[in-house]
Chains A and B, each alone.
Chain A
Amino acid sequence: MAHPSQLGLQDAASPVMEELLHFHDHALMIVLLISTLVLYIIVSMVSTKLTNKYILDSQEIEIVWTILPAVILILIALPSLRILYLMDEINDPHLTIKAMGHQWYWSYEYTDYEDLGFDSYMVPTQDLVPGQFRLLETDHRMVVPMESPIRVLVSAEDVLHSWAVPALGVKMDAVPGRLNQTAFIVSRPGVFYGQCSEICGANHSFMPIVVEAVPLVHFENWSSLMLEDA
C-alpha cells in the first residue's frame, strides 16, 4: 500500500505492474535528463557576458536537435508498445470474480461453482483496531489465489465507479449495464489496497478495495467458510 511521503509507485505485486514500474523509471529518467540539460543551457545562456552577432544559420546543430529527439521518442515508444501488447494478451483465467460498484461499497461475486456473493464496506475510522489503515480497510476482503490468472468483471449497480488496485497495475471503470473485463496474476501473497477511482457521490472517497492473495489451499478454505456463513 502507499506509505507516508511516498514519491514513487507502490511495489509491484503482478508481472504487468513490474513492467509498468520499470517503464516509468525509464521514461522518468529520460525526462529528468532532458530537463536538466535544458535548465543548464538556459542558465548558461542567461549568465554569459559573451555576445555573438554573426550567426546566420547552423545546419549541423539543426540536424542533431531534430534527429536526437526523434530517436529518444522511439526509445520511449518501443517499450511502451511492448507493454501495451503484453497487457492485451489473451488470458486463460483460472477464476472469474465480479466486482459490482454501489453507492458506496463494492460487492464481489464468485459464481464459477457456487453462488458466493458478499458486500465489502469500509471500516469506519472509529472502529479501526491498532495496525489497520484509515479509509483503506474493509469488513470483507476480495480473497484470490496467488500465482493464478484471475479475470475480474467490473460493473456498477447505480452510477459510475472505478475499480483500481495500484499494486497490481489494475484500473477498470464500473459502468452500469456494462461488463468490463480485466485480468491479473498476483505474484506474491499479501494484502493490496485500492480506492474507488470515479466520482460517485458523497462517499466516493470511502469505498475502498482490498485484495488478499493467499495460497490456493487457503483460498479454498476461505470460500467454503464464506459459503457456510452466507
Chain B
Amino acid sequence: MSINKLAYYPGCPSDGTAVDQDMSTKAVFEKLGVELVEVEDWNCCGAAEVEDPKVVYALNARNLAIAEKEDLDIVTPCSICYYNLERSNKALKADEALCTKLKGIDSSLDYGGKIKTKHVLDVFVNDIGMDEISSKLEKKVNVKVAPYYGCYIGRPPETAFDDPDNPVLMDKLIELIGGEIVPNFNYMKTVCCGGPLMMTRGDIAFDMARKILDVAKNAGADCISLACPLCGMMLDGKQADIEKALGITIGMPVVYITQLLGLALGIEPNKLGLNKNAVDTKEILGKVV
C-alpha cells in the first residue's frame, strides 16, 4: 500500500442525509490504516446546481488549494463532489490564465495544480488494493447485492475511473468480502437515480428511482450498494415516499459500499451508521458471518 494519509472532502450531505456514509467512510479508512485529514473549512463543490463551469472551477480551487497546502491528495465519498473536484483540477492544471484570474480574485484560490483528486472507490481498489484489504477482512458479508454506481463514476469520460456502461470496482469489493452480485442488474448500474430532478420534477425523479429499485428487486438482491450520497437520498431516504406516491411496496435495503466493507472489516454496525439507513438493514446484518 502506497498511501497512508489523504485529505478528506466530505461534501455537504455528510452532515445530514448522508451521515451514515460519512461515518462508515471514516471508520473504514481508519481500519485500513489510512489517516483522513478533513479539508479545513471546505466549501460546497457547486453540486449539479451551479451550472456555470467557471464558477465550479473557482469553488473547487479553494478546496484544492487548502489540501495542497497540506500536500495531500483529496478523497471524497460523493460522486458529484468527485466530478466537480476532478474536472476543476483538470481545468486548473491545463489553464494558466484561469489560475491567474482566480489568484486575482482571492489569494485563497491560488492553487498550484500539484495534487490529485479521487473517489473513495478508486482509492480502495486501485490505491490500497485488493490484497491489502483482503488481508484485513474479518468477516464474510454473505449478501446478494445489486451494485448501483450512478452517474459520475464511469462518465463523463475525462473524469471517469471505471467502465461507463458496466463499471466493476464495486463488484470487485463485494465479491472480495464474500458477497454475490445479482445477475441481470448490469444494465441498471449507471442509469441515473433521478436525484438532480428531485426538487423540480419530483415525478420524474420518483419514476427513475423506482426503476432501479424494481430491477434490483426482480434480480433477487438483498440490498443495493451505493457510492454516492445523492443516490442514497433518492433510493434510501425517499424510498418510502416513492412507495406511497406510486402505491407500491418495495422494501429494498440500500447501503453504502463503505458500510458493507466496514462490516467485512469487522467494524461495529452502529459505528458504520447502519442504524441510520432509512430502510431497515437488520436483515443484512444477519448475513454477516
User: Is B one of A's binding partners?
Assistant: no
Q: Interface residues, chain B, CB within 8 Å of chain A? A: none
